[in-house]
Chains A and B, each alone.
Chain A
Amino acid sequence: MKRLAKWRLLPLFAVMALLAGCGEPFLSALKPAGEVAQMQYDLMLLSTAIMVGVIVVVTIIFIIVVTRFRRKNDNEIPKQVEGSHKLEMIWTIIPILLLLILAVPTVAATFKLADVSPMEKKGEDGKTEAVVVKVRANLYWWEFEYPNEEILTSQDLVVPTDEKVYFELKASDVKHSFWIPAVGGKMDTNTENVNKFWLEFDGKASDEAGSLFYGKCAELCGPSHALMDFKVKALPRDEFDQWVAAAKAVKEPKQAETAQAQAGQEVFNNSCIGCHAVTPANSTPEQARMGPNLTDFGNRSRVAGVLEHNEENIKKWLKDPEAIKPGNKMTGKYNLSDEEIDAVTEYLMGLKVQ
């Protein structure tokens, strides 16, 4: 009996061996880095194991059939069998049982993942105990608003590790979908309603991934859908608190220090500030936040979500955004000379909350 049990586990081991070690720790759903991803990964393993079992049975019958029953002479007429009630019962009932084994944890997990009740438990000041992030998806960038902390940031989502983070998702133009593969499944950002779900970022896994998870848009949204990436900085709680405090401290736009940066700030104030804020307060209405908030731009991990973060790439992006993200909404909104771009670049690199 014990040996039999081991045999039954064989497909499970085979599957684990196959799936483990696939992909990058900062991106792969097969390297779960949080409670949600782990739950989904376990469901994957369970379903894959059942399915591999089914495939093994089919394959064995299949191989027997195609090897044993080849036509040997042209005159043979096999017995015409109508069917077999017993066999047909077997392959009706066993699949039903297998599906039940999968259906029960599926339903349980589905409800668990949809439980956002801590978001509703608001204190007298209208704030929640739990960390809440309002995600607003735009062509082709992401805005992350922290209603409790009354700040917002863009492109790089900052979250605390080892606790549940609750998300409110919506899109401001067309439908997108918010997905951090390593941390958990996606949810769509619809245009007409707010979707809610939660994720948990595992501290240890975050360290392995270099504290930077990759996030993606998973719903076709236009030419640059493929480039609508964001990044997630998952920090221990105290570092997260420090970041929040530092961000909240920025009440006025940070003043540029060098001469060139000051020139850049002037250009910025003339050409860019209409869409891009450099203070983190969430007091302006959504419609006025037409471009990513740049308060913490100097600490960004990527330029435009896809290019390595350095001055050269910022200049490249400012010079011809269309070449980097086709269909983006910034192209053609400003007209800067090369010197001005250099100045703005220096200014932007200095924008750091800490």
Chain B
Amino acid sequence: MSTYAQKKGAGAVIWDFLTTVDHKKIAILYLIAGGFFFIVGGLEAMFIRIQLAIPDNNFVSAGVYNEILTMHGTTMIFLAAMPLVFAFMNAVMPLQIGARDVAFPFLNSLGFWLFFFGGVFLNLSWFLGGAPDAGWTSYASLSLASEGHGIDFYVLGLQISGAGTLIGGINFLVTIINMRAPGMTYMRMPLFTWSTFVVSALILFAFPPLTIGLFLMMFDRMFGANFFDHTMGGNTVIWEHFFWIFGHPEVYILILPAFGIFSEIFATFSRKRLFGYSSMVFATVLIGFLGFMVWAHHMFTTGLGPIANAIFAVATMAIAVPTGIKIFNWLFTMWGGSIKFTTPMLYAIAFIPSFVAGGVTGVMLASAAADYQYHDTYFVVAHFHYVIVGGVVFGLLAGTHFYWPKMFGTMLNEFLGKISFWLFLIGFHLTFFIQHFLGLMGMPRRIFTFLPDQGFETGNLISTIGAFFMAISVIVLLINIIMTSVKNEKVGNDPWGDGRTLEWALPSPPPFYNFKQLPLVRGLDAYWLEKMEGKKGMTPAEPLGDIHMPNNSFIPFVISLGLFIAAFGAMYRAEHSWGLPVLIAGMLVTLLSMLVRSVKDDHGYHIHKEDLIDDNDKGVKA
């Protein structure tokens, strides 16, 4: 082992992360980048709430407010929630199925860098003439009318980062299908792995419509096409369809991994196997499937007619059934269990009532005729923040505390964790509960200010106060992370003491090859089974042998950088003469580096058996 774990300088560490293809390090990259964008999106949220704290406020101007609200939504969905979800998928899923890495480590790295450059490109709009301002949905008539380059940043940035997401999804699918350890049948996979599997399939089918929509928009805005210009025979409603055929599954792409994380946490801290495992799997698959059948419920007021509205209303209501199954299964996982209230468990427990509240308003919104009242009001804002914050963000925060020791080898402080939990929970409900009523009382969403004497004052002020609670909570979390990292007290394999799945059988953090010998999986909750039989670790499924590892590579970074450069060229092509050469140069960088990757054989390297034995002083560890 000594040859692999030398002390390295800062430059070497950075170079290592720029070139890594190790899923655990890529997970850390996703966590850092996603965390950064989460803070950015959070700041934008604070500006929104400050602006709306009082009527007729002029904290920000109308135009800037639209940019902030657009970037808040876009950043939170594409640049914060998605990468944070990917962070946990990368960190945990390969360990949970007993794999040494994902199926295509090179693609894994490429996926991250594409996302990262896309996200940076999008946010550079703030410094280069103004951010996109047509909402995260960027409906065509408004986004075509929008002046400046804001929407161009949106289109190109999301196109680049979306490609990264699609690559990541395909990679996870192949990994789960092909790389499960001996004995890890589909119906023994932990729920988080299952949700990763289903989500990857959703990504595979949901992102192409977005890609197409963005391409059409790109041609409309930058190359003189008229796909969405109705005066030239185009149609803006097509954009709405494209966007929501992607956009609705996207919500499930975010929430299902959170469901997965919660499933692990409930089972772990109740010391009980998941209640109704097979119905949980079934419900996950069903939610994923139905997620594609309901997009038009975002368009009830578009004027699709009563037949379409009625069909999509009933289809949408149907999703409540599998979701309800999950909620009750979680409750009955805890029933009769031995519950320990750790920070991740607190988030998981608080998630249940919060998410149920968001879910039931979802059913209310599904009622098409009534939705004509809710649509595009603060009622909708309240609803989707209840599911996305109460579901996804709670899940990500729970996952952060839960998997931190596995990712970094040290535990986040529980006391600070609980403080930030309570602040966040209180702030969350304070901010969003009242918004249901604001919406019903007639307050449309996406308004930069409201006039006095319409009954909106109190509600908005309460909401803003709540937002500050959440902001303080995130600051406490950051302090916690810094303190923990500085102290860096190392922990063992199973720091929570109740780990059930394979990842807890490995050291924290696991060695770069994960499993010295692939483990033999004998049932659901493989590690728990062994523990209950008094064993310390997994039974190996293979003799100790050479391990084949992929080489690090800088090419993914260069491929992504090329597209990043080309995007600037595409955007400024029409008004600057250097635009076209830059576009071509950027594409050349990308294509040439792809060519290098294709013609240069990279067989990776082997860790030799002898090197692994050296490290074998602790007995046979899987």
Given contacts A173-B145, A174-B142, are A103 and B301 in contact (CB under 8 A)? no
16 further contact pairs, Cβ within 8 A, besides A84-B332, A191-B236: A23-B442, A62-B331, A66-B339, A69-B338, A71-B338, A79-B336, A88-B276, A88-B328, A92-B325, A103-B317, A110-B306, A111-B306, A181-B441, A184-B373, A222-B142, A223-B62
Contact with A along B269-294 (1 / 0, CB 8 A): 01111011111000000000000000
Among B353, B366, B371, which residue has its beta carbon within 8 angstroms of that of A185? B371
Chain A 5-28 interface 0/1 with B at a Cβ cutoff of 8 Å (1 = within): 000000000000001001110011
CB contacts (< 8 Å) of A193 on chain B: these are 237, 303
- Tell me whether B135 is interfacial, beta carbon within 8 Å: yes
Residues of chain A contacted by B367 (CB below 8 angstroms): 43, 47, 102, 106
Q: How far is the CB of B85 from chain A (nearest CB, A)?
A: 25
Minimal Cβ-Cβ distance residue in A for B142 = A174
Residue pair A102, B363 in contact (C-beta under 8 Å)? yes
Check: B535 CB closer than 8 A to any chain A CB: no
Q: How far is the CB of A14 from chain B (nearest CB, A)?
A: 14
Report yes or no: B441 in contact with A186, Cβ–Cβ below 8 A.
no
Is the beta-carbon distance between B338 and A225 smaller than 8 angstroms? no
Tell me, yes or no, whether A274 is within 8 Å of chain B by CB: no
- A223-B313 in contact given A43-B367, A186-B376 (Cβ < 8 Å): no
Closest to B364 in A: A47
Interface residues of B in 544-584 (CB under 8 A from A): none
B335 in complex: contacting residue of A23, A65, A187, CB < 8 Å: A65
Please tell me if A40 contacts chain B, counting CB pairs below 8 Å: yes
Complex-state Cα separation, A5 to B323, whole angstroms: 28
- Whether, in the assembled complex, A87 has its beta carbon less than 8 Å from a beta carbon of chain B, the answer is yes
For window 32-79 of A, CB contacts with B under 8 Å fall at 37, 39-40, 43-44, 47-48, 50-51, 54-55, 58-59, 61-62, 64-66, 69-72, 76-79
List A contacts of B305 (CB < 8 A): 114
Q: Give Cα A226 to B401, complex, Å.
A: 40
Contact B272 A113 (CB under 8 A): no
Knowing A65-B335, A71-B340, A107-B313, the reply to whether A220 touches B446 (Cβ < 8 A) is: yes
Binds A, one of B424-432, B448-456, B506-514: B448-456
What are 14 A-B pairs with beta-carbon distances under 8 A?
Answer: A23-B437, A28-B440, A29-B373, A43-B367, A43-B370, A54-B324, A70-B341, A80-B273, A82-B276, A111-B310, A195-B303, A225-B448, A226-B449, A229-B451
> Bound complex: CA of A43 vs CA of B317, how far in Å?
14
Contact B339 A22 (CB under 8 A): no
Give the distance in Å from the alpha carbon of A105 to the alpha carbon of B356 in the complex.
23
Tell me which residues across on chain A come within 8 A of B62, comparing CB atoms: 223-224, 226, 326-327
Q: Quote the shortest CB–CB distance from A307 to chain B (angstroms).
A: 9
Q: Which of B134, B324, B338, B447 contacts A91 (CB 8 A)?
A: B324
Given contacts A69-B335, A216-B444, contact A174 B369 (CB under 8 A): no
Q: In the complex, which residues of chain B have a beta carbon less than 8 angstroms from the beta carbon of A29?
A: 373, 440-442
Of all A-B residue pairs in the complex, the 9 with the closest CB atoms, nearest first, are: A185-B372, A23-B441, A226-B447, A109-B369, A51-B360, A83-B276, A192-B230, A195-B303, A181-B442
The residues of B that contact A23 with a CB separation of less than 8 Å are 437, 440-442, 455
CB distance from B124 to the nearest CB of A (A): 22
A133 at the interface (CB under 8 A from B): no
Q: In the complex, which residue of chain B has the Cβ closest to the Cβ of A44?
A: B370
Q: Tell me how many residues of B have a C-beta within 8 Å of chain A.
A: 89
A175: Cβ under 8 A from any B Cβ? yes
On chain A, the residues within 8 Å of B63 by CB distance are 223, 326-327
CB closest residue in chain A, given B319? A99
**What chain A residues lie within 8 Å of B141 (beta carbons)?**
171, 173-175, 191
- A71, B339: Cβ atoms closer than 8 Å: yes
Max chain A C-beta neighbours (<10 A), residue from B276, B352, B373: B373
Q: Hey, what's the 0/1 contact readout for B184-221 against A, CB within 8 Å counting as 1?
A: 00000000000000000000000000000000000000
Contact of B309 among A110, A169, A224, A327 (CB under 8 A): A110
Q: Which of B373-414 contact A (CB under 8 A)?
A: 373, 375-377
B505 to chain A, nearest CB (A): 18
Query: Is the C-beta of A262 less than 8 angstroms from some C-beta in chain B?
Result: no
Within the complex, which residue of B321, B336, B450 is in contact with A69, where a contact is CB–CB below 8 Å?
B336
Residue pair A99, B317 in contact (C-beta under 8 Å)? yes
- Contact, CB under 8 Å: B440 / A30: yes
Query: Does A221 lie at the interface of the complex (its beta carbon under 8 Å from any beta carbon of B)?
Result: yes
List chain A residues, Cβ under 8 A from B325.
88, 91-92
Given A28-B441, A58-B352, A91-B324, the answer on whether A187 and B301 have CB atoms closer than 8 Å is yes
Could you tell me if B372 and A83 are in contact, using CB atoms closer than 8 angstroms? no
Q: In the complex, what residue of chain B is closest to A57 when comparing beta carbons?
A: B328
From A65, A81, A226, B448 is in contact (CB under 8 Å) with A226
Q: Is the CB of A51 within 8 A of B369?
A: no
> B105-119: contact bitstring with A at CB < 8 Å (1 yes, 0 no)?
000000000000000
Residues of B contacting A173 with CB < 8 Å?
A: 141, 145
Within 8 A of B (CB), among A159-208: 169, 171, 173-175, 177, 179, 181-182, 184-188, 190-193, 195
Q: Are A47 and B370 in contact (CB under 8 A)?
A: yes
Contacts A44-B370, A113-B372; A190 near B236 (Cβ below 8 A): yes
B488 in the interface (beta carbon within 8 A): no
Residues in A whose Cβ lies below 8 Å from that of B341? 70
B301 partner residues in chain A, CB cutoff 8 A: 177, 185-188, 218
- Asked if A217 is an interface residue, CB under 8 A from chain B, the answer is yes
In B425-478, the 8 Å CB interface with A consists of: 437, 440-442, 444-451, 454-455
A166: min CB distance to chain B, Å: 14
Tell whether A219 pairs with B376 under 8 Å between CB atoms, given A51-B364, A84-B276, A92-B325. Answer: yes
A24-B142 contact given A59-B353, A218-B375, CB 8 Å threshold: no
Contact B314 A66 (CB under 8 A): no
CB of B66, distance to nearest CB on chain A (Å): 6
Please give, as numbers and ranges, the residues of chain B lying within 8 Å of A256 by CB-CB distance.
Answer: none
Find out whether the CB atom of A87 lies under 8 angstroms from the CB atom of B442: no
Q: Inside 8 A of A146's CB, which chain B residues have their CB?
A: none
CB of B122 within 8 A of chain A?
no
Cβ of A349 < 8 Å from any Cβ of B?
A: no
B356, B375, B442 — most chain A CB neighbours (10 Å): B442
Q: How would residues 132 to 146 of chain B score, 1 for a CB under 8 Å from any chain A CB and 0 otherwise?
A: 011100010110010
B368 within 8 A of A: yes
When chains A and B are docked, how far (Å) is the Cα of A190 from the Cα of B142? 11
Q: Check if B302 sits within 8 Å of A188, measured CB to CB.
A: yes
Residues of chain A within 8 A (CB-CB) of B79 are none
A77 — nearest CB in chain B belongs to which residue? B271
Given A91-B328, A217-B444, are A110 and B368 also a contact pair (CB < 8 Å)?
yes
Considering the complex, give the chain B residue whose CB is closest to the CB of A65.
B334
**Contact status of A110 and B377, CB under 8 A, knowing A77-B338, A88-B276:** no
- Shortest A128–chain B CB gap in Å is 20
Select one of B145, B321, B332, B338 contacting A92, CB under 8 A.
Answer: B321
* Residues B279 and A83 in contact, CB atoms below 8 Å apart: yes
Q: How far does the alpha carbon of A229 sit from the alpha carbon of B360 in the complex, in Å?
A: 31
Report the separation of the CA atoms of residues A176 and B195 in the bound assembly, to the nearest whole angstrom.
Answer: 38
By a CB distance below 8 angstroms, the chain A residues around B235 are 192
Q: Does B320 contact A (CB under 8 A)?
A: yes
Instruction: Determine the distance from Cα of A223 to Cα of B70 in the docked complex, in whole angstroms.
Output: 12
CA–CA, A82 to B272, complex, Å?
9
> Which residues of the other chain, B, contact A66 by a CB distance below 8 angstroms?
334, 339, 349
CB proximity of B244 to chain A, nearest CB, Å? 14
Bound-complex Cα distance A185 to B277 (A):
42
- Name which of B62, B279, B356, B370 has the most chain A CB atoms within 10 A of its CB: B370
A96 lies within 8 A of chain B by Cβ = yes
Among A72, A83, A327, max chain B CB count under 10 A is at A83
Q: Is the CB of B321 within 8 A of A188?
A: no
CA distance A182 to B313 in the complex (A): 23
Residues of A near B135 (CB, < 8 A) are 220
- Cβ-closest chain B residue relative to A192: B230
